[in-house]
Amino acid sequence: MTRTISAPVADDVLPTGADGTVKRRGRSKWRVFALTVGALAFLFPFYYMIVGSLQARSDSSLLGALPMPGNLSLGNYREINAAIHLGRSLLNSVIFTAGVVLGTLVFGVLAGYALARLKFRGRGTLFAAVLLLQVVPFQLLVIPLYVQIVRGYGLADSYVGMILPFAINSVAVFVFRQFFLQLPVELFEAARIDGASELRVLRSVALPLVRPALLTATLLTFIGPWNEFLWPFLVTKQAGKQPLAVSLANYISTVAAAATNPYGAILAGACVLAGPAVLLFIAFQRYFVSSDLGSGVKG
Amino acid sequence: MKPRIPLASIVVLSLVLASGCGGGDDSSAAGAATAHGAINVWLSNNAQEVAWGKQVVQAWNAAHPTEKVTAQEIPAGSTSEAVISASITAGNAPCLIYNTSPAAVPNFQAQGGLVPLDDFADGTSYVTARSGESAAQYKSPDGKFYQLPWKSNPVMLFYNKKEFAKAGLSTTAPPLGTYTDFLATSQKLVSSGAAKYAIFPSPSSQFFQSWFDFYPMYAAESGKQLVVDQKATFDSDQGRAVSGLWQQLYAQNLAGKEAYTGDAFADGTAAMASAGPWAIAAYKNKVDWGVVSVPTQAGSAEGQSTFSDAKNVALYTACANRGTAWDFLKFSTSKEQDGKLLEMTGQMPMRQNLAQEYPAYFTANPAYKVFAAKAAHVVEVPNVPASVEMWQAFRDSWSNSVIFGKEDPNKALADASAKINNLVK
Amino acid sequence: MKTRVLGRQPVGLLLSAPYAVFVAAVFAYPLGLAVWISFHKYIFTAPGVSVPRPFVGLDNYTAVLTDPAVRRSFLNILIFLLINVPLTVGLSLLLATALNAAIPFRTFFRVSFYVPYVTASVAVVGVWLFLFGSGGLVNQVLGGAAPDPSWLINGIWAMPSIAFYVTWKQLGFFILLYLAALQNVPKELYESAAVDGASRWRSFRSVTVPGVRPATTLVTLLAIITGANLFTEPYLLTNGGGPSGKSASPVLLMYQRGIEQGHPDIASAIGVLLVVAVLLIAGVQRLLERRQA
């Protein structure tokens, strides 16, 4: 039985006309307009960063916000690459970040599932630890943590030493827990009634569904170690092991003054630092679509 | 419901108690003053200093194959103290750090991280022979040398010749000698549109920023350190004169109060800057600069002092082979190596009679001559306990009264003086 | 049902063991030490060097609570949170909802809101200064209506300026959280609301908002936590403490006192107080939420 929808509908549900085409409401034009204004406001600083990084001479006037043909060059990128070997630094960043993301995804899912769906001794305490770790500021712990990892565990100048304090992101554990809490409890109960062991339930019920949470957790976890400066800076003295955020900060504090366009060089480094994160997001965000949306949808 | 004692909190509690009893865990064997062997040193990551450091290490290693030196870089800047402090605590500090800030030495000393150079037979004599009278400023309250005065960057006033010309001011004898002249010049620079600001020292509230606005002028005016004999000296006519001048500059918007990304002088936003000889290389192709001494009330004089902006070398207790460390330290501060430092970085080694020791260099690079002359008249930060806290207290009061004009500067100076007297007791 | 020693599903212990070990091995000692330090007179020393570390009870806490700079910093954070948290929650939900719909160039829009989040503050702040500096774009547009002194050096506007900056910068993160949560709101609910004749706003209020409640909890909690731990932005935007310390944050003071000045005992006291304050705020927020439900 079909029914013509005549009342205003939520734009999340696209009304389909009799010929099957998607009809857009006039009001969504305003939405697009508002979003465009917002997007421009958000993008402007990034755009300004890119323009600034391409400036041969620093131009901080209002007109400098426009790319002036006479002032464009890739010189800043070359200078910063000469100073800090962008390739090597990026590789270190990737290793550091990948270690953290892997640790979080593998062990965080398990912990999140256990906290959400299993009753065991110490669950409350562990959950309290998850909360507490998020709340405590890093600066409170940094020197004892450094002593512990460098002296206690002898992990100075190593990737493991860099990764260790970040190995399992507590926010991600929290997100996994919430995710599993939101899944209908009947799913698990049904499997349990069928006699499956807990591990079986985990493997065949929980894990297949967890992909959206994995994506979210990756995007959440990724940015911390990618932009992290203080910890790798403390733990590694070898320039060959330092991630890009540290190399960039080093560059800003010393070498930059001697560059032709110091601020432009800093912006070039920052653009390089931001690039992979943006690309990752572009790649992942397309999974954030409801699987129910019609196939004729653009975007 | 039965109250249950969470398991984990017992674990945490016992760890807390255990860590408390910690204190002196495995004490690494402190190397005797005569032990020799391989050592580690840290350099700042200033490109020129690294180049200098590499060649020193190479020269040493060639001559001493059994006592190899390995050099690493740590960033210069506000975070280097955090790195050094953390490594002292962890016991993995290197033997020598060629980037030890004199203001941080009291803290490192209190941590038990520094070896007094007096432990070596020729320790004191070497330091005083090399640096002469100015070495006395680097003694700790217990009379020992916990640092070797290595290089200084005497702070002077750079000015932008092009912008001065635009404002109709002389570029060869700019009117910057007295406070009255300085203020008038600043006003002219801004009102004529030659520059947005006359001078733009960083208004940040970090503890060391006063070393580049207040301290050079105060040193020039009074020749004294901030604190002498455990008493603050700046609550005086001289201190008030300096803060009065800066207060005028900020009140009339001749100096910037906001954060600025980049170097204001290099960008031409500010017509003047307080900087040391390191700046010559930085400003080379960007600004047509001239340099004079910082102003004083009566007019700048030949022998007036300024802030040293020194960076020193210290020997750390984590060092096992202290004999080698001391020998390497002497090697790297020999006349030859000091000369190389001068050539490669343009910074002033803290050696007596600098201009006479390296006449060839100064003939070839006359721009640096005036800094060499100044290097003989530098005032250092006071070597007192709680030195960082002291500078922070000063900076907070300066920020509030002089930069933001929320308080009367004279009263602020008096309050800061009282506070600091309490701190350095 | 008999209660078992290890709980009903002891395999939970196994699954959460790696995380528990991680917490114990990495954080238990530093955290415990930090709390212990806050009750003693303490400096970090080289190994083998022993200095007296007397127990001083609540002296550090008293010193901290009577320090006007510290009290001001807590007030600053409160101002920050009052602006940042509601703005963040509201804007990110609205934007996530808008970005969840099928709109043209959706990827472009999503990326543009996310981009500030991934760019390092140190680079982006220059742009902010360009906009909000005393000669910046905003003041030029506002002309006479611009505050004097300008935003970032103004005693009243310094902290709110930082709050707006951080809100803008972090929004992408929270939009992401909401986007993920919105995928779980069943489409049928929207359809039935539409059938009932609900306007878009109405369906937002009665379907979307309740549907993403767990995400709202998470977003609020995280916004409070990251706001309370504010550190770099005051440095970058307002030179550290700002005019009269009106934009200093507790973590900034912790860094100054603990690491720069070598007083980890004072810094730990500030840190513990901050953690307690945040837990209290989070607790209150949870209570309010439970009341509403």
pTM: 0.86
Smallest CA–CA distance, residue B324 to chain A, in Å, is 22
Is A197 part of any domain? Answer: yes
B156-308+383-423, what's its fold?
Answer: D-Maltodextrin-Binding Protein; domain 2 (3.40.190)
Smallest CA–CA distance, residue C54 to chain A, in Å, is 19
Chain C residues 273-292 within an 8 A CB cutoff of chain A: 274-275, 278-279, 282
Q: Could you say which DSSP state residue C244 is in? A: G
Contacts of residue C84, defined as CB under 8 A and 6 or more positions apart, other chains included, come to: C163, C166, C167, C223, C227
Contact: B86, A142; criterion CB under 8 Å: yes
Residue A242 half-sphere exposure toward CB, CA atoms < 13 A: 25
DSSP H/E element including B312: strand B311-315
Return the C-alpha torsion angle A78, A84, A86, A88, nearest 10: 150
**pLDDT, tens only, A236-247:** 877 788 898 888
Residue C143: count of CB within 10 angstroms of its CB:
7
Q: Using DSSP, state whether B188 is helix, strand or coil.
A: helix
Q: Using DSSP, state whether B298 is helix, strand or coil.
A: coil
Residue A256's pLDDT is what? 56
Chain A residues within 8 Å of chain B (Cβ atoms): 58, 60, 83, 121-122, 124-126, 128-129, 142-143, 146-147, 150-151, 156, 230, 233-234, 237-239, 249-250, 253-255, 257-258, 260, 262-263, 266
**pLDDT, tens only, C212-241:** 888 888 899 899 998 999 888 887 788 777
Both tokens assigned to B35 = 């032990």
Residue type, C112: S
DSSP H/E element including B290: strand B289-292
Is C124 part of any domain? Answer: yes
Packing angle, helices C29-37 and A138-147, rounded to 10: 110
**pLDDT, tens only, B233-282:** 999 999 999 999 999 999 999 999 888 877 889 888 999 999 999 889 88
The answer to whether C11 contacts chain A (CB < 8 Å) is: yes
CA-based R_g, chain A, Å: 25
The model's confidence at residue C12, banded by pLDDT at 50, 70 and 90, is confident
CA C270, C276, C281 angle in degrees (round to 5)? 125
Is A129 part of any domain? Answer: yes
Smallest CA–CA distance, residue A298 to chain B, in Å, is 42
Is C11 part of any domain? Answer: no
Q: Number of residue pairs across A and C with CB atoms under 8 Å? A: 317
Q: Could you say which DSSP state residue C2 is in? A: P
Residue type, A218: T
Both tokens assigned to A111 = 């912990």
The model's confidence at residue C128, banded by pLDDT at 50, 70 and 90, is confident
Looking at chain B, the domain(s) classified CATH 3.40.190.10 span 39-146+311-349, 156-308+383-423
B385 in the Ramachandran plot: left (φ > 0), alpha (ψ -120 to 50) or beta?
A: beta
The model's confidence at residue C2, banded by pLDDT at 50, 70 and 90, is low
List the CATH number of the domain containing A229: 1.10.3720.10
CA A169, A156, C22 angle in degrees (round to 5)? 30
Contacts of C275 in chain A (CB under 8 A): 132, 135-137, 140
- The separation between the first and the last C-alpha atoms of chain C, rounded to the nearest angstrom, is 31
Smallest CA–CA distance, residue A223 to chain B, in Å, is 22
Rounded to whole angstroms, the Cα distance separating C234 from C218 reads 25
Q: Which residues of chain B fall below pLDDT 50?
A: 1-30
Is C210 part of any domain? Answer: yes
Contact: C46, B257; criterion CB under 8 Å: no
Of A124, A142, A257, the CB nearest to B6: A124
Residue B58's pLDDT is what? 96
Residue B77's pLDDT is what? 64
Share of chain A above pLDDT 90, in %: 13
Contacts of A210 in chain C (CB under 8 A): none
Q: Rounded to whole angstroms, what are the CA distances from B124 to B104, B121, B188, B318? A: 21, 8, 51, 21
Alpha helices in B292-345 (DSSP H): 322-332, 335-345
Q: Into how many domains does chain A fold?
A: 1
Q: Is C274 exposed, middle or buried (0-12, 13-18, 19+ CB in 10 A)?
A: buried
**pLDDT, tens only, A219-260:** 888 888 988 888 898 888 777 888 988 888 777 766 656 667
**pLDDT, tens only, A264-282:** 777 888 888 888 888 888 8
Q: Into how many domains does chain C fold?
A: 1
Instruction: Report the CATH number of the B39-146+311-349 domain.
Output: 3.40.190.10
Is A85 part of any domain? Answer: no
3-state helix/strand/coil string of chain A = CCCCCCCCCCCCCCCECCCCCECCCCHHHHHHHHHHHHHHHHHHHHHHHHHHHCECCCCCCCHHHCCCHHHECCHHHHHHHHHHCHHHHHHHHHHHHHHHHHHHHHHHHHHHHHHHHCCCCCHHHHHHHHHHHHHCCHHHHHHHHHHHHHHHCCCCCCHHHHHHHHCCCHHHHHHHHHHHHHCCHHHHHHHHHCCCCHHHHHHHHHHHHCHHHHHHHHHHHHHHHHHCCHHHHHHCCCHHHCCHHHHHHHHHHCHHHHCCCHHHHHHHHHHHHHHHHHHHHHHHHCCCCCCCCCCCCCC
Number of H helices, E strands in chain C: 15, 0
Residue that the structure tokens 């919105």 belong to? C182
Both tokens assigned to A14 = 């696209």
Chain B residues 278-317 within an 8 A CB cutoff of chain C: 317
Nearest chain C residue to A277 by CA: give it.
C118
Residue A7's pLDDT is what? 39
Strand residues in B322-408 grouped as ranges (E): 348-349, 378-379
Is A16 part of any domain? Answer: no
Q: Using DSSP, state whether C28 is helix, strand or coil.
A: helix
Contacts of residue A84, defined as CB under 8 A and 6 or more positions apart, other chains included, come to: A247, A248, A250, A251, A255, A269
Residue B210 half-sphere exposure toward CB, CA atoms < 13 A: 30
Contacts of A14 in chain C (CB under 8 A): 102
Of C29, C236, C243, the CB nearest to B19: C29
Residue B307's pLDDT is what? 95
8 Å CB contact between B153 and B276? yes
8 Å CB contact between B232 and B421? yes
**pLDDT, tens only, B27-58:** 344 456 789 999 999 998 788 899 999 999 99
Beta-strand pair B96-100/B39-44: parallel
Residue A99's pLDDT is what? 95
Contact: A118, C15; criterion CB under 8 Å: yes
8 Å CB contact between C121 and C178? no
Residue B402's pLDDT is what? 94
B37 in the Ramachandran plot: left (φ > 0), alpha (ψ -120 to 50) or beta?
A: left
Contact: A234, B46; criterion CB under 8 Å: no
Share of chain C above pLDDT 90, in %: 31
C55 versus B285: the higher-pLDDT residue is C55
Q: Is the dihedral of CA C55, C57, C61, C64 positive or negative?
A: negative
Contacts of residue B283, defined as CB under 8 A and 6 or more positions apart, other chains included, come to: B158, B265, B266, B289
8 Å CB contact between C257 and C250? no
8 Å CB contact between A271 and A49? yes
The answer to whether C34 contacts chain A (CB < 8 Å) is: yes
The answer to whether B318 contacts chain C (CB < 8 Å) is: yes
Q: Domain limits at C149?
A: 58-292
Residue A3 pLDDT > 70? no
Residue that the structure tokens 């800076």 belong to? A233
Contacts of C125 in chain B (CB under 8 A): 259, 261
Contact: A125, B6; criterion CB under 8 Å: yes
8 Å CB contact between C205 and C213? no
CA-based R_g, chain B, Å: 24
Q: Is the dihedral of CA C162, C165, C171, C172 positive or negative?
A: negative
Both tokens assigned to A177 = 């827990």
Rounded to whole angstroms, the Cα distance separating B98 from A169 reads 37
| Residues A107-120, mean pLDDT to the nearest whole number | 89
Of C23, C114, C122, the CB nearest to A133: C23
Chain B residues 213-232 within an 8 A CB cutoff of chain C: none
8 Å CB contact between B81 and B106? no
Q: Could you say which DSSP state residue C101 is in? A: S
Rounded to whole angstroms, the Cα distance separating B19 from A165 reads 19
Of C36, C47, C149, the CB nearest to B16: C36
B229 versus A182: the higher-pLDDT residue is B229
8 Å CB contact between A221 and A133? no
8 Å CB contact between B210 and B387? no
User: Can you say how many angstroms the Cα of residue C291 is from the centroid of all Cα atoms in its chain?
Assistant: 23
Rounded to whole angstroms, the Cα distance separating C267 from C255 reads 7
Contact: A126, B44; criterion CB under 8 Å: no
Rounded to whole angstroms, the Cα distance separating B421 from B414 reads 11
**pLDDT, tens only, A76-95:** 788 778 777 888 888 999 99
Residue A76's pLDDT is what? 79
Of B27, B261, B317, the CB nearest to C126: B261
Rounded to whole angstroms, the Cα distance separating B240 from A163 reads 52
Rounded to whole angstroms, the Cα distance separating B33 from B117 reads 10
Contact: C8, A227; criterion CB under 8 Å: no
List the CATH number of the domain containing C224: 1.10.3720.10
Both tokens assigned to A235 = 């733990």
